């Protein structure tokens, strides 16, 4: 089998490469990325080609690259620069349109799209934790968060394709909808995307209190287990949507424990207002819409993945969280440009010369 994977050098892609490296007879893999990584493990498992999927001619370029490919796994997604709405739209929804068009034109048999919990409509909490939803839950997303809106729009492209291609050759389409995806190797990347340039990672081990709403509850999963689900979908040529979440659902107290901090109840609107203020003042790169997603998202019921794919998470959610926080604290990185090393001096220098990560021009 020949598989092309967009965004293969990122968080989930790196975990997928690690898993492929342990297989006796792995598929042949082509990584389609904007910046190929250096040829060191685990990035030696794949062949690489450089292509920015936000380009106007991305679909045409990709169609040529997909000749002879049996399946495409679409992992590529842009989170930054968050203040460059035009580029983000092209690198997310536009990129998905290019992948869908190219895969269909090249005669690819199977498309696996990495979606997200962010496609789901908000739920109303009754008392404690939010309800767990299955794959047929409404998909309107969280309007205040561009990431959520873009994930919804990308899935609508898949909906349209499946509806309009019914009378001709039809590429099988699967969608994976994980909760928060975490791993140790993404530590530096998580710091870069979620904290100010001047923020030292060592502070994560010395946070005295964590001011968050006591009702915060969310679904999470380790990157390795998402990679296992990708391979299961490919091997079974599975179609449809699959939620991916490990147990137990994570709470504010779990986050505090991972940070060795004392949890302090602060209502979500107050936390959101503080994040919005610092975002508007360009003091930190985290869009306040992420707090809306945290406050409104349902939990994920992964029954379908477990029963139809035989998928069983090997890392529980608390261990995945500890793994990610440990990676952030130690600034763990890889030789992938997407997961590159982050240091405070380098981050500050880059912010001064090229602007903060949320608004700088792309290299």
Q: What is the pLDDT of residue 201?
A: 85
Cis amide leading into 66 (omega within 30): no
Cis amide leading into 81 (omega within 30): yes
* Cα 69–Cα 172–Cα 145 angle in degrees, nearest 5: 100
Q: What is the pLDDT of residue 363?
A: 46
Q: What does 239-270 look like in DSSP terms, one character per residue?
A: -EEEEE-EEEEEEHHHHHHHHT-EEEE--HHH
Between the CA atoms of 147, 54, 184 and 48, what dihedral angle is there, to the nearest 10 degrees?
A: 160
Q: What is the pLDDT of residue 200?
A: 86
Whether the CB-CB separation of 221 and 244 falls below 8 Å is answered with yes
Q: State mean pLDDT over 222-242.
A: 98
Q: What is the pLDDT of residue 129?
A: 82
Closest by CA position to 239, among listed 111, 106, 362: 111
Q: State mean pLDDT over 329-350.
A: 84
Q: State mean pLDDT over 83-92.
A: 92
User: Tens digit of pLDDT for each residue in 61-83?
Assistant: 999 999 999 999 999 999 888 88
User: Tens digit of pLDDT for each residue in 165-191?
Assistant: 654 667 999 999 999 999 999 999 999
Q: State mean pLDDT over 238-254.
A: 97
Band (197; pLDDT cuts 50, 70, 90): confident
Q: State mean pLDDT over 200-226.
A: 92
Band (349; pLDDT cuts 50, 70, 90): low
Q: What is the pLDDT of residue 360?
A: 47
**3-class secondary structure, 177:** strand
**3-class secondary structure, 219:** strand
Contacts of 86 (CB under 8 A, 6+ apart): none
Q: What is the pLDDT of residue 204?
A: 85
Band (356; pLDDT cuts 50, 70, 90): low
Task: Report the run of H or E that residue 28 belongs to, with start and end.
Answer: strand 28-33
Q: How many CB atoms lie within 10 A of CB 106?
A: 18
Q: How many CB atoms lie within 10 A of CB 318?
A: 18
Whether the CB-CB separation of 223 and 182 falls below 8 Å is answered with yes
**Rounded-to-integer distance, Cα 233 and Cα 248, Å:** 24
Q: What is the pLDDT of residue 80?
A: 83
Cis amide leading into 216 (omega within 30): no
Q: What is the pLDDT of residue 343?
A: 80
**Domain 2-354, second-level architecture:** 3-Layer(aba) Sandwich (3.40)
Q: Which of 34-48, 77-91, 315-329 has the lowest mean pLDDT?
A: 77-91
For residue 271, pLDDT over 90 is answered with: yes
Closest by CA position to 340, among listed 103, 35, 95, 15: 35
For residue 352, pLDDT over 70 is answered with: no
Please state the pTM of the whole predicted model: 0.93
Q: What is the pLDDT of residue 130?
A: 92
Q: What does 347-359 look like in DSSP terms, one character per residue?
A: HHHHHHHH--TTT
The residue ranges of every structural domain in the chain are: 2-354
**Rounded-to-integer distance, Cα 294 and Cα 289, Å:** 9
Mean pLDDT of the chain: 93
User: Tens digit of pLDDT for each residue in 113-157?
Assistant: 999 999 999 998 766 789 999 999 999 999 999 999 999 999 999
**Rounded-to-integer distance, Cα 111 and Cα 237, Å:** 9
């Amino acid at each position: 089998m020949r598989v092309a994977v967009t965004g293969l050098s990122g968080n989930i892609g790196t975990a997928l490469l690690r898993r492929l490296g342990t297989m006796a007879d792995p598929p042949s893999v082509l990584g389609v990325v904007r910046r190929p990584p250096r040829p060191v493990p685990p990035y030696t498992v794949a062949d690489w080609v450089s292509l920015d999927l936000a380009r106007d001619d991305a679909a045409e370029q990709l169609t040529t690259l997909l000749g002879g490919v049996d399946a495409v796994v679409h992992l590529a997604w842009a989170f930054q620069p968050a203040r460059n709405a035009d580029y983000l739209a092209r690198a997310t929804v536009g990129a998905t349109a290019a992948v869908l068009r190219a895969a269909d034109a090249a005669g690819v048999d199977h498309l696996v799209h990495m979606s997200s919990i962010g496609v789901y409509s908000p739920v109303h909490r009754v008392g404690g934790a939010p309800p767990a939803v299955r794959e047929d839950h409404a998909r309107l997303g969280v309007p205040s968060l561009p990431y959520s809106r873009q994930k919804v729009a990308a899935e609508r492209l898949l909906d349209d394709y499946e509806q309009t291609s019914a009378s001709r050759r039809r590429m099988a389409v699967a969608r994976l909808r994980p909760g928060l995806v975490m791993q140790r190797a993404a530590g530096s990347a998580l710091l870069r995307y979620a904290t100010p340039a001047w923020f030292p990672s060592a502070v994560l081990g010395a946070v005295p209190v964590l001011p968050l709403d006591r009702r915060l509850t969310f679904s999470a999963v380790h990157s390795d287990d998402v990679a296992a689900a990708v391979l299961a979908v490919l091997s079974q040529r599975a179609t449809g949507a699959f939620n991916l979440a490990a147990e137990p659902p994570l709470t504010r107290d779990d986050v505090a424990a991972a940070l060795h901090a004392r949890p302090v109840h602060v209502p979500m609107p107050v936390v959101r207002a503080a994040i919005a203020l610092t975002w508007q003042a360009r003091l930190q790169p985290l869009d306040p819409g992420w707090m809306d997603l945290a406050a409104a998202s349902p939990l994920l019921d992964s029954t379908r993945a477990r029963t139809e794919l035989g998928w069983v998470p090997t890392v529980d959610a608390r261990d995945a969280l500890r793994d990610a926080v440990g990676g952030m604290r130690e600034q763990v990185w890889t030789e992938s440009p997407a997961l590159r090393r982050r240091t405070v001096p380098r981050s500050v220098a880059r912010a001064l010369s090229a602007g903060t990560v949320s608004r700088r021009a792309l290299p």
